[in-house]
A and B are shown apart, each in its own frame.
Chain A
């Protein structure tokens, strides 16, 4: 069964850091690009970052560029999001999502992990 399970969310102070993980199972993780998408409370979806299947290229939304880093460990079937210099506006549920490709859709989503940035 294809599954993505996020972890690592929590409460962090402004300016702090957090690392999210996304464990994949049920598909050949190393063959697919992966994304992070977030959703602020009561708001819509926002694309955050994309990493190619082999980790060779990474892309970010302007809102997180220079602060967030997406990475993956294909030997552990795990996707990561390192979040630094966190701001109140980063408060959201963070979802990892499998890329259908080539430039299209996100076909499998995790259940999400909540990140709250607050003093």
Chain B
């Protein structure tokens, strides 16, 4: 499977909102409501931020939200904070018990 397409980088100022897109196909993002998002700080393990397109695990601030339209999923971070600066990866179930990640997006908080 080909990796999902994410912008290489996005940026925003503290307090602003940013949205990261994740584009796939009808065989992955568009075909299932099993899109998840991960935050990864340098040298650290990924952390689950959103699952099943728009659900938030306990402990994840409600500043983080997810959505999907057609073959594109989105992660929106509102009220940007300095600690949100990290790499973000989307992931989708791709059928036949396989999963595919996006290439990752580097978020810079200006």
Chain A positions within 8 Å of B, measured between CB atoms, are 35, 37, 44-47, 50, 57, 59, 61-62, 95, 100, 103-107, 109-112
Contacts and interface: CB of A to CB of B under 8 A. Distances in A.
Contacts of A46: 101
Interface stretch (B12-20, B32-40, B72-80): B32-40
A104 B52 contact: yes
Contact of B97 (A50, A95, A112): A50
15 contacts: A37-B46, A44-B101, A44-B103, A47-B91, A47-B100, A47-B101, A59-B96, A100-B48, A103-B93, A104-B34, A104-B93, A105-B34, A107-B51, A109-B46, A111-B45
A104 B53 CA distance: 9
Contact of B36 (A106, A109, A111): A106
Interface residues of B, number: 25
B104 interface: yes
A95 B36 contact: no
Closest CB pairs A-B (n = 8): A105-B51, A105-B36, A59-B97, A109-B45, A47-B99, A44-B104, A45-B101, A103-B93
Given A47-B98, A109-B46, A100 B51 contact: yes
